[in-house]
């Protein structure tokens, strides 16, 4: 799973989240720092109102929560979602003894990003792309 630090950096760099079933997220509240939630039509569903989007907690799954504003949630994209967001720039993922390398090509130049976790290697590559767009 992607690290909280990289997820926050992606959000700061402009990554926009459109919640879908199966998406994981954390809340920007110290008391929920270690908790990871999953969007699901049965328990946590995105709802859109004229005032904005919320994540509604249905039933008794999370008794202390009714809903949270989308901006108070930090999306933790999955490895497949990160790879998909790299689109045509993605070339390969290599597994090495102690790390994973993600290679992308931007403007004809190959860029390589390494991290022990493959999802974080993908996140580093996506973060570089987003920062180029700023």
Query: Tens digit of pLDDT for each residue in 49-102?
Result: 888 888 887 765 555 567 788 898 999 999 999 999 999 999 999 999 999 999
pLDDT at 107 over 70: yes
Residues 110, 115, 121, 127, CA torsion sign: negative
Give the residue among 51, 55, 91 at the shortest CA–CA distance from 70: 55
Range of the domain at 107: 79-133
**The two three-digit tokens of residue 106, written as one number:** 């931007």
Strand ranges inside 5-51, DSSP E: 24-27, 37-38, 44-49
Indicate whether 65 and 110 sit together in one domain.
no
Indicate whether 39 and 84 sit together in one domain.
no
**Residue where a domain terminates, one of 76, 100, 125:** 76
For residue range 19-34, list pLDDT tens digits in order: 998 999 998 877 777 8
Indicate whether 64 and 8 sit together in one domain.
yes
Confidence category of residue 134, pLDDT binned at 50, 70, 90: low
* Backbone φ and ψ of 121, nearest 5°: -65, -45
| Number of separate domains in the chain | 2
Indicate whether 69 and 92 sit together in one domain.
no
pLDDT at 65 (0 to 100)? 61
Indicate whether 20 and 62 sit together in one domain.
yes
pLDDT at 47 (0 to 100)? 86
């Amino acid at each position: 799973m992607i690290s909280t630090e990289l997820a926050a950096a992606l959000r700061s760099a402009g990554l926009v989240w459109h919640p879908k079933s199966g998406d994981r997220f954390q809340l920007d509240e110290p008391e929920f720092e270690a908790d990871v939630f999953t969007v699901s039509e049965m328990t946590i569903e995105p709802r859109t109102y004229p005032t904005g989007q919320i994540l509604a907690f249905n039933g008794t799954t999370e008794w202390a929560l009714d809903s949270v504003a989308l901006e108070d949630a930090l999306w933790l994209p999955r490895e497949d979602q990160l790879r998909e967001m790299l689109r045509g720039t993605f070339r390969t993922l290599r597994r090495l003894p102690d790390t994973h390398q993600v290679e992308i090509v931007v403007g004809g130049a190959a860029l390589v990003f390494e991290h022990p976790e493959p999802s974080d290697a993908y996140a580093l590559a996506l973060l570089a792309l987003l920062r180029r767009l700023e």
